[in-house]
């Protein structure tokens, strides 16, 4: 073997290597005739067979070696690899089923079939088919392997948790969102950190699964979507996207709660109204914290800055200085590229698709600037009581982007009324968002 290694490292010809390998094989075969249980010799011989002989011969020799050393990890890795090369997944499962009948005490007899079932489940999901049966079989086999060998307990537990993620995705494919959510949570309980980690065989993460559930239920159940996105932000606090999603979902649910509370006020259901309005205020505070986290992670993202400031301006209606600082930073970031984007969109000789893409990019940038100016206008009007400055921002934002900004008309009317009649346009405790019922 030393001679073969030296030749391989020295760049010898394939013919010379093959001849030396054949001599080494004969020597090992002869030695095993005298010492049939020598593990090192079996490991070397089967390695030579795998590299220089037909797969069938190598697999047969490895199977024989495993009868002398049924728990050897190196031989098992080779045996599974060769079985797969000879007949794919079905061959591996059949060979290991036979091996397990002879050696039920060997953990790796369950481990390698478990891997095959797990990978089969992943392949099914990649083809948009559910793989529940495969993941269930894998989970049972990993549990058996763990019970037989404590040294692989952690690896088995990690794979078993990944199987629960696979079961969650299988439920999603089958349209069972609630059941999928339960599986994802079970995976995290089984091995904390599973939802956020990269999973074997390209299985999509549990976090991505929860995000899909949240997106799918957002219109029908804003409270559930908000809870899911808030949980995603907690599980992956370094992801600005999920911090933003949490802020948006919490804001949407808070708005729905405030609307329901206001309706309860109208009906005279004071206790219900105050409960709903208190929940709305609490969720809006959590929305702000999520947006602040998003801004901390992506401080140069004008969209995040705009959205974070919006919570302070329209809903919590406080901290005007902080909101203004963010909105002015949006203008610093977003106004400068406007002329270049406009020129690029107006360039002659563009293909229709290219012109459309450039026009869309210009309109998006205009929208960002228009949103910031509108938000500054509302801030100056409702939080500072400066109707004159507010008018400048509110008038300049109209026509910026495809949104007609019809809501600006109401703020413009309030600003003109404040200037003409000396009315204080600032919000107070009775008129602010989610204020208590007026009859209290």
Average pLDDT of the chain, as a whole number: 91
R_g (Cα) of the chain, nearest Å: 33
The CA–CA distances, whole Å, from 228 to 119, 175, 210, 212, 307 equal 28, 18, 7, 10, 20
Which of 12-16, 102-106, 132-136, 275-279 shows the lowest mean pLDDT across its residues? 12-16
pLDDT of residue 134: 98
Q: Greater confidence, 369 or 21?
A: 369
The sign one gets for the Cα dihedral 425, 428, 433, 437 is negative
SS3 359: helix
Q: Greater confidence, 9 or 380?
A: 380
pLDDT of residue 64: 86
Q: Which of 53, 45, 36, 52 is nearest to 74 (CA)?
A: 45
pLDDT confidence bin for 391, thresholds 50/70/90: very high
The pLDDT tens digits for 223-234 are: 999 999 999 999
pLDDT confidence bin for 43, thresholds 50/70/90: confident
Total-model pTM: 0.81
By CB atoms closer than 10 A (0-12, 13-18, 19+), residue 196 is middle
Q: Percent of the chain having pLDDT more than 90?
A: 82
Mean of pLDDT values over 186-200: 94
Mean of pLDDT values over 278-299: 98
Say yes or no to pLDDT of 6 above 50. no
Say yes or no to pLDDT of 173 above 70. yes
pLDDT of residue 8: 47
Say yes or no to pLDDT of 18 above 90. no
Mean of pLDDT values over 54-71: 86
By CB atoms closer than 10 A (0-12, 13-18, 19+), residue 357 is middle
pLDDT confidence bin for 36, thresholds 50/70/90: confident
Integer Cα distance of 413 and 394 in angstroms = 11
SS3 431: coil
Q: Is 403 left (phi over 0), alpha (psi -120 to 50) or beta?
A: beta
Say yes or no to pLDDT of 149 above 90. yes
pLDDT of residue 56: 84
SS3 content of the chain, % helix, strand, coil (to 5): 80, 0, 20
pLDDT confidence bin for 31, thresholds 50/70/90: low
Integer Cα distance of 225 and 245 in angstroms = 10
Q: Which domains does the chain have, with CATH numbers?
A: 1-104 (1.25.40), 107-217 (no CATH)
The pLDDT tens digits for 289-336 are: 999 999 999 999 999 999 999 999 999 999 999 999 999 999 999 999
Mean of pLDDT values over 423-438: 94
Mean of pLDDT values over 12-19: 57
Mean of pLDDT values over 401-418: 95
For residue 308, how many other CB atoms are within 10 A of its CB? 28
Backbone angles phi, psi at 245, to 5 degrees: -60, -40
Asked if 394 and 376 touch (Cβ cutoff 8 Å), the reply is no
Q: Greater confidence, 378 or 4?
A: 378
Say yes or no to pLDDT of 209 above 90. yes
């Amino acid at each position: 073997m030393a001679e073969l290694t030296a030749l391989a490292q020295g760049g010898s010809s394939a013919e010379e290597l093959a001849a030396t390998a054949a001599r080494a094989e004969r020597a090992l075969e002869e030695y095993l005739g005298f010492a049939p249980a020598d593990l090192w010799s079996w490991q070397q011989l089967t390695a030579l067979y795998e590299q220089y002989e037909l797969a069938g011969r190598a697999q047969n020799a490895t199977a024989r070696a495993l009868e002398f050393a049924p728990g050897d990890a190196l031989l098992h890795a080779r045996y599974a690899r060769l079985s797969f090369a000879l007949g794919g997944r079905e061959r591996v499962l059949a060979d290991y089923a036979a091996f397990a009948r002879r050696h039920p005490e060997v953990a790796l007899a369950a481990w390698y079939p478990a891997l095959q079932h797990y990978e089969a489940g992943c392949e099914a999901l990649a083809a948009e088919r559910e793989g529940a049966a495969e993941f269930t079989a894998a989970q049972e086999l990993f549990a058996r392997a763990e019970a037989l060998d404590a040294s692989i307990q952690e690896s088995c537990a990690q794979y078993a948790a990944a199987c629960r993620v696979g079961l969650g995705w299988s439920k999603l494919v089958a349209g069972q969102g609630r059941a999928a959510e339960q599986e994802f949570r079970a995976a995290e309980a089984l091995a904390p950190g599973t939802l956020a980690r990269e999973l074997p065989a390209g299985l999509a993460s549990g976090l991505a699964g929860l995000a899909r559930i949240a997106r799918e239920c957002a219109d029908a159940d804003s409270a559930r979507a908000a809870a899911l996105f808030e949980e995603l932000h907690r599980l992956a606090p370094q992801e600005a996207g999920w911090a933003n999603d949490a802020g948006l979902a919490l804001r949407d649910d808070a708005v729905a709660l405030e609307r329901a509370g206001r309706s309860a006020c109208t009906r005279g259901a004071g206790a219900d109204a105050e409960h709903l309005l208190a929940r709305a205020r609490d969720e809006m505070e959590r929305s702000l914290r999520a947006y602040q986290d998003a801004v901390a992670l992506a401080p140069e993202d004008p969209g995040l800055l705009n959205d974070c400031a919006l919570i302070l301006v329209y809903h919590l209606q406080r901290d005007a200085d902080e909101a203004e600082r963010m909105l002015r930073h949006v203008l610093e970031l977003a106004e400068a590229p406007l002329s270049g984007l406009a020129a690029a969109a107006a360039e002659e000789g563009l293909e229709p698709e290219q012109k459309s893409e450039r026009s869309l990019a210009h309109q998006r940038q205009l929208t960002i600037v228009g949103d910031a100016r509108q938000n500054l206008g509302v801030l100056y009007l409702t939080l500072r009581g400066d109707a004159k400055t507010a008018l400048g921002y509110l008038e300049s934002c109209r026509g910026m982007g495809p949104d007609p900004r019809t809501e600006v008309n109401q703020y413009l009317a309030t600003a003109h009324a404040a200037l003409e009649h000396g009315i204080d346009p600032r919000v107070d405790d009775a008129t602010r968002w989610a204020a208590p019922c007026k009859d209290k």
